[in-house]
Amino acid sequence: MSDDDKVLTRNLSFIKDNITDMDGVMDKLIEDDILRLEDRSRILSNRNPRLQIHAILEIVVKKGAYDNFIRALETSGNSHIIERLENIDYNCEKTDLSKEDIQEEIDQSDGCEDNSNHTKIEQSDKLQKQLKNMQSENEHLRVQQKSVRMELESKQKKMQELNKEVNVFKAQNKQLNERLKLLCNSDKLKDRLSNIELKVREKDTEHGLLETEIQEKEDEVQQLQDDCNQLRLELAEKTDQLVALSDQMKALREDLGVARKERYELKVKLDEMNVNLDDKWKLMMNVLENKLNQSRRIPTRLSSEQKEPILPTIRSNQTTPLKFVDNRYSLTPKDKIKLRTQQAQTVAPKNAVRDKKTAFCGTKPRSFNKFLK
């Protein structure tokens, strides 16, 4: 048998006399798998509380569940039993230690034959003092145990007195209820009760009206909440639309930037084309002027060629007068105008571009296309 089991067996009568809340102790032991439900029913079948406790302790000792039993006592409010068991255990350890010390000292005294009798007497006095101290401590613990037991008994007595008072109050309450029933049968009380019932009905009516108003207000609040939810949905849709529009605006801005860049590039190209066109225009005008000068020189050459056959006659001293033929002076005014228009058409066609600022407004002439090539 272990030391813990010895502590339980030594305090068996104390545990049986002072334990409370047996149901709590058994419940905790069942939770710790020390007791089974069948054990509980078997223990409770015996009406004697001491025998019930004895059966529980028998199972605890058999399974060596001293620690579980201490926890069950602690949870069920039996701390006074735990203190008693711990004190007894502590005292047992001390007595065992003191016995071992005495035995060791005796062995040492037996083994040391050379020690004097004086030292032996001092050792025995010392051991006696230790024994007296332990006895006094044990007596002190017994006094504490006795005081705790007396306190527990006083509390139990007080609990019994309180239970008696509760029973008295229950009896008084029963008597008062009976008297109240008798008073309800009187006429005055009936009138008062009728007035009170009338007031209660009025209050119920007012309460019903208030409930109706509250219900209407709740309906209005619900409608407002529905409207608010609808507005939130619309706001979410508008927000989505706004986001989509902002995305479109962003895309349009990007397209606008690209278009501006292309426009700038086209403008640069147009300026370059205008510069090239100015150069070509100047070149064309120089060519046209050269051609015009060449065309003006052709009649003079023709006139000189016509004059050459006449020169021999002059040299041969012919008497007949010579006539210089010039087609320009032999034509009529209408023929001169017609000749000039033909010359102008050959030099500058009808569709020729005269103003370089409006170079792309009209149709380009064929001669201009030749120079562009």
Per-residue 3-state assignment (H helix, E strand, C coil) for 260-282:
HHHHHHHHHHHHHHHHHHHHHHH
Q: What angle is formed at CA 70 by the lines to CA 68 and CA 71, rounded to 5 degrees? A: 65
pLDDT of residue 13: 82
Q: Hey, what amino acid is at 373?
A: K
Q: Is position 165 within any domain?
A: yes
Answer yes or no: is pLDDT of 114 > 60. Answer: no
Cα 20 from chain centroid? 53
What whole-number distance in Å separates Cα of residue 213 and Cα of residue 229?
A: 24
What whole-number distance in Å separates Cα of residue 136 and Cα of residue 131?
A: 9
Answer yes or no: is pLDDT of 92 > 70. Answer: no
Whether 59 contacts 116, CB under 8 Å: no
Answer yes or no: is pLDDT of 189 > 80. Answer: no
Asked which of 216-230, 265-279, 319-333 is least confident by mean pLDDT, the reply is: 319-333
Answer yes or no: is pLDDT of 307 > 50. Answer: no
pLDDT of residue 265: 92
Q: Is position 219 within any domain?
A: no
Residue 242 in tokens: 């706004």
Q: Is position 131 within any domain?
A: yes
For the residues 1-21, what does the mean pLDDT come to?
78
Shared-domain flag, residues 176 and 277? no
pLDDT of residue 268: 92
Residue 113 backbone phi and psi in degrees, to 5? -80, -20
Per DSSP, the residues of 222-250 read HHHHHHHHHHHHHHHHHHHHHHHHHHHHH
What whole-number distance in Å separates Cα of residue 29 and Cα of residue 75?
A: 11
pLDDT of residue 360: 42
Q: What angle is formed at CA 184 by the lines to CA 178 and CA 187, rounded to 5 degrees? A: 145
DSSP code of residue 358: G
Query: pLDDT class for 345, splitting at 50, 70, 90?
Result: low
**CATH number for the domain including 158?**
1.10.533.10
pLDDT of residue 266: 92
pLDDT of residue 298: 64
pLDDT of residue 243: 92
> How many structural domains is the chain composed of?
2
Q: Is position 221 within any domain?
A: no
Q: Is position 189 within any domain?
A: no
Whether 21 contacts 76, CB under 8 Å: yes
Task: For residue range 139-184, list pLDDT tens digits in order.
Answer: 777 777 777 878 888 888 888 888 888 888 888 988 888 887 777 6
Across the chain, what does the average pLDDT equal?
Answer: 75
Burial of 242 (0-12, 13-18, 19+ CB in 10 A): exposed
The terminus-to-terminus CA distance of the chain in angstroms comes to 130
Asked which of 54-68, 74-88, 241-255 is least confident by mean pLDDT, the reply is: 74-88
- Number of helices followed by number of strands (H, E) in the chain: 13, 0
Shared-domain flag, residues 161 and 48? yes
Task: For residue range 219-265, list pLDDT tens digits in order.
Answer: 989 999 898 899 999 999 999 999 999 899 999 999 899 999 999 99
Say if pTM beats, i.e. exceeds, 0.85.
no
Shared-domain flag, residues 33 and 165? yes
Residue 25 backbone phi and psi in degrees, to 5? -65, -45
What whole-number distance in Å separates Cα of residue 36 and Cα of residue 26?
A: 9
pLDDT of residue 11: 81
Given 151, 180, 209, which residue is the final one in a domain?
180
Residue 111 in tokens: 């083994």
Q: Is position 267 within any domain?
A: no
Q: Is position 157 within any domain?
A: yes
Answer yes or no: is pLDDT of 372 > 60. Answer: no
What whole-number distance in Å separates Cα of residue 291 and Cα of residue 299?
A: 14
Query: pLDDT class for 67, splitting at 50, 70, 90?
Result: confident
Per cent of the chain over pLDDT 90 is 5
pLDDT of residue 359: 43
Answer yes or no: is pLDDT of 297 > 80. Answer: no
Per cent of the chain over pLDDT 70 is 69
pLDDT of residue 109: 46
Domain span including residue 317: 273-372
Neighbours of 60 (CB within 10 A): 23
Per the listing, tokens 């105008």 go with 337
What whole-number distance in Å separates Cα of residue 370 and Cα of residue 62?
A: 130
Shared-domain flag, residues 140 and 9? yes
Task: Return the CA Rg of the chain.
Answer: 70
Residue 231 in tokens: 């507005």
pLDDT of residue 310: 44
Per the listing, tokens 């986001």 go with 243
Q: Looking at per-residue confidence, does 335 or 216 come out higher?
A: 216
Q: Is position 154 within any domain?
A: yes
Asked which of 33-37, 66-70, 81-85, 331-335 is least confident by mean pLDDT, the reply is: 331-335
For the residues 275-300, what does the mean pLDDT come to?
84
For the residues 25-38, what does the mean pLDDT come to?
87
Neighbours of 283 (CB within 10 A): 11
Whether 352 contacts 365, CB under 8 Å: yes
Asked which of 29-43, 154-168, 327-341, 346-360 is least confident by mean pLDDT, the reply is: 346-360
pLDDT of residue 35: 87
Shared-domain flag, residues 280 and 153? no
pLDDT of residue 116: 60
pLDDT of residue 336: 61
